[in-house]
Amino acid sequence: MEKLDCVVIGAGVIGLAVARALALAGRQVVVLEAESAIGTGTSSRNSEVIHAGIYYPRDSLKATLCVRGRAALYAYCEQRAIAHRRCGKLIVATDTAQLDQLAAIRAKAAANGVHDLQLLSQQQAQALEPQVRASGALLSPSTGIIDSHAFMLSLQGDAELAGAVFAFQAPLRHWRVTQGGLELEVQEERWLANTVVNCAGNDAPGVAKALQGLDARHQPRAYYAKGNYFSCAVAAPFSRLIYPVPEQAGLGVHLTLDMAGRARFGPDVEWTDTPDYTVDAARADGFYAEIRKYWPDLPDHALQPDYAGIRPKLGGPEAPAADFRIDDASVHGIPGLVNLFGIESPGLTSSLALAELVCARLHV
C-alpha cells in the first residue's frame, strides 16, 4: 500500500485552492479528480462574479470568507494578470414595495464589513444605467467579474510548481478509517493518507457517505438546485451587473457580463433529484417576465439557452439557506479528515480564504 501525505478530492476551484495552499505550506499533495480536466462541475457553471459579501448572515462562514476572499482574489488576479474587472453592480427595487428591502440589505452588508454600498434614487440609478427600470437601487462598487477558468489554471499551476500531483479520471471507489490513517481505493490501487480534504462539490455528500467509519450523522443529504442560464442575442445596454432583490433560494434572475461584455441571464431555481445540465428553452418565458421588470426593452426572441449549473445545497426548497459546512476532526472525531459541504455561492469568491481556513483547521 502506497503511503501519502495529503489527498484532496476534487479539482474544482475549491479543491485547487486547497491543494495550492497545502502544497505551498510544504505538504505533499495528490489531487484526485473523477473527470478528465479541472473545474468541469459547478466551478465552470456559474455567473463568474466576484461577490462583495452583501447578503449573508452576520458572522457566518459565507460572510466572513466572502469579504476576506474578495480582497485576496482581487490581489491574486492583479499580481498574475488574470482577466477580471471591478465593474460594480446595481441591486434594483423594481417597485416601491421593495425599497425597504434595499435598506435592510445595506444594513446586513455593513454588519459584514461591506461599507461601500450606495443607496440610489430612481434618477441616480438611471443616470448610471439609463435603460434600467428601478424605483431605487443599491450600488455595489466592489462587485466584479473574473475569468474563472484562467483563475483555476493559475491555481493548478501554483500547486504543481509547489509539488502537487494531479490524478484525473480517478474516482474514489471505496475508503475507510484505519488506525494508521485514511485508506483509499483508487483505480485498483490502495493508498494510506495522513490527511484527506473532501472538496468534491455536489458529490461531497456521496464521497462522505462512502467513507467506512464515518458516523451517518456526518453524512449530509445532497440537494440539487439547478440554475439555468440564457445568453442574449442582442447587445445589452449595461456596463454593470444588474440584480433584482434576492429570492429565497438564490439571487434572482440577474444580468451578468462576461469579460467580452456579453450579457447572460440567470440563474433561476429548478429543484431536481439528479444533476442535469440541459436547459429547457421553454423556461425562457419566465426569464422574459423577470428580466423585463428591470429591463423593459428586452426584445422578443433575444434569449437563447446557454448552460446550467447545480448549486450544492444542504437543504431543500422550504429550508432556509445553509452556511458553508466545514467538518473537521473537532466535528466527527477523525484525525486528518476535512469534509466541505454546501460550498455554493460565494464559493468562487471565497476560495482563497476558504483554503486558508482549511489549512488552519489542519494546523498547517
Q: How far apart are CA 144 and CA 268, in angstroms?
A: 20
What's the mean pLDDT in 174-198?
96
Exposure b/e, 186-217, CB count within 10 A at least 16 = b: beeeebebbbbbbbbbbbbbebbebbeebeee
Mean pLDDT on 241-258:
83
**33 vs 30, 95, 165, 274, 303, CA distance in Å?**
10, 46, 11, 20, 34
Q: Give the rounded percent of residues in the chain with a pLDDT score beyond 90.
A: 94
The reported pLDDT for the residue numbered 82 is 98
Confidence bin at 304 (pLDDT 50/70/90): very high
Q: What is the mean pLDDT of residues 258-278?
A: 92
Q: What is the mean pLDDT of residues 30-55?
A: 96
**In which band, very low, low, confident or very high, does the pLDDT at 188 lie, cut at 50, 70 and 90?**
confident
Which residues touch 20 (CB under 8 Å, ≥6 apart)? 155, 156, 158, 159, 162, 164, 355
What letter would DSSP give residue 61?
A: H
CATH 3.50.50.60 domain residues, the chain: 2-46+149-220+322-361
Q: What is the mean pLDDT of the chain?
A: 95
pLDDT digits (tens, 9 = 90+) for 103-161: 999 999 999 999 999 999 999 999 999 999 999 999 999 999 999 999 999 999 999 99
* pLDDT surpassing 60 at residue 25: yes
- pLDDT(299) > 70: yes
Instruction: Enumerate the CATH 3.30.9.10 domain ranges in the chain, comma separated.
Output: 89-141+223-313
Residue 252: pLDDT over 80? no
Using an 8 Å Cβ cutoff, are 18 and 209 in contact? no
How sure is the predictor about 232, in pLDDT bands with cuts at 50, 70 and 90? very high
Which residues is 345 bridged to in the sheet?
A: none
The tally of CA atoms less than 13 A away on the side-chain side of residue 122 is 9
By C-alpha distance, which of 314, 321, 354 is closest to 65?
A: 354
What's the pLDDT band for 251 if we cut at 50, 70, 90?
A: low
Q: Where do the H-state alpha helices sit in 81-203?
A: 99-111, 122-128, 148-161
Stretch among 112-116, 246-250, 252-256 having the lowest mean pLDDT: 246-250
For domain 2-46+149-220+322-361, give the CATH number: 3.50.50.60
CA distances from 122 to 4, 94, 95, 99, 137 (A): 59, 10, 10, 11, 7
Give the pLDDT band (50/70/90) at residue 274: confident
pLDDT digits (tens, 9 = 90+) for 330-346: 999 999 999 999 999 99
- Distance, in Å, from the CA atom of 71 to the CA atom of 114, rounded to the nearest integer, reads 11
**Taking 70 as the threshold, does the pLDDT of residue 247 lie above it?**
no
pLDDT band at 71 (very low <50, low <70, confident <90, very high): very high
The residue written with cell numbers 444580468 in the block is 255
In terms of Cβ atoms closer than 10 Å to its own Cβ (0-12, 13-18, 19+), residue 179 is exposed
Residue 250 pLDDT > 80: no
Q: What is the pLDDT of residue 248?
A: 56
The pTM score is 0.96
Look at residue 292 in the predicted model and tell me its pLDDT: 96
| Least confident range of 99-108, 240-249, 311-320, 326-335 | 240-249
Fold exhibited by the domain 89-141+223-313: D-Amino Acid Oxidase; Chain A, domain 2 (3.30.9)
